[in-house]
Amino acid sequence: MKVSATSRAQALTVIVSLLILVMGFGISAQAAKLGLASAWLFEENGGRVVKDIVSGHDGEIKGTLEWEKKGKFGGALKFSGKGDSYVRVDHDDVFNSDPYTFIAWVKLEAASWQYVVWRNGDVWPEPEDVRHLDIWIHDADYPVFMWHVKGKVGRIEGKTIVADGEWHHIAKIYDGKNVQMFVDGKLDGEEPSGGTLDTSKSPIWIGARPGDVAATGLFDEVGFFTEALSEDELNDVMESGLADYAAVDAAGKLATTWALLKAKK
């Protein structure tokens, strides 16, 4: 059976289009579910880069961190408790989102003062009080959330001990009016934001802040959403993992485009 030149050209067009689609979307496509903007899964098991599987906001490993094969979901990254050892993610305006949700799985050892995430510049004390995203662990081992509205500080102190050598899920949810602290999927504190949170062009520091305050333990499944998740949504994400939410958009676009290409044959 002979294949016409036209048919061969159409087949080649389909193949090339699919290759471009896969390379263009892949796992880096903007996720469709719940406004997931960035997801760092710590699955690299080597190297100095932590991949953002959603939108390419890859993190750079600073100092001395260790890859671990056994995290909460797959691999994890071990933080040494040294202030020069953290993951740095360059600024993008998406991280000034109003509202937003930030989540992380952590397995922290009891230590004196630790940091989960910091976003207010590369020096301490910070030159301006404009914390949009700030989560740290008190000397008494419970989480603390802080933020600024027109330079005025907001704060939530949690009730749950999280630096105890066990895995805990920490989530900060800001809906434009209130800030909520969730630990292991349960509300652990809530306060009015006091207004629209201050913004900046600062990078994200995961696992430390300037001034030699850092985390001691494992991190896994760190994510940033441009929506304020509900309690049910948060628990779904916590239980199923970020990969399920990161892949939806790419898969949907791939299937839709494939159908369109076949229809044009």
173 Cβ contact partners less than 8 Å away, ≥ 6 residues apart: 99, 100, 101, 179, 180, 182, 228, 229, 234
- Which residues of the chain register pLDDT less than 70? 1-32, 248-265
Sign of the Cα torsion 216, 83, 203, 30 reads negative
pLDDT at 257: 32
Helix, strand and coil percent figures for the chain, each rounded to 5 = 20, 35, 45
Nearest to 209 by CA among 106, 101, 136, 105: 136
Residue 6 and residue 108 in one domain:
no
Residue 141 and residue 191 in one domain:
yes
- Structure-block tokens of residue 22: 């896969």
Residue 24 and residue 40 in one domain:
no
List the domain range (segments joined by +) for residue 142: 32-240
Sort strands 216-225 and 208-209 into parallel, antiparallel or unpaired: unpaired
Residue 234 and residue 195 in one domain:
yes
Q: How far is CA 131 from CA 16, 136, 175, 199, 202, in A?
A: 46, 12, 16, 7, 9
Residue 172 and residue 265 in one domain:
no
Residue 5 and residue 73 in one domain:
no
pLDDT at 255: 37
The 3-state secondary structure of 242-263, one letter per residue = CHHHHCHHHHHHHHHHHHHHHH
Task: Identify whether the C-beta of residue 89 lies closer than 8 Å to the C-beta of residue 206.
Answer: yes
pLDDT at 133: 98
Residue 78 and residue 187 in one domain:
yes
Residue 151 and residue 62 in one domain:
yes
CATH number of the CATH domain containing 213: 2.60.120.200
Residue 195 and residue 262 in one domain:
no
Residue 121 and residue 189 in one domain:
yes
199 Cβ contact partners less than 8 Å away, ≥ 6 residues apart: 96, 130, 132
pLDDT at 233: 98
pLDDT at 210: 98
Number of structural domains, the chain?
2
C-alpha torsion angle, residues 110, 229, 225, 51 (rounded to 10): 50
pLDDT at 2: 54
Residue 25 and residue 100 in one domain:
no
Residue 74 and residue 104 in one domain:
yes
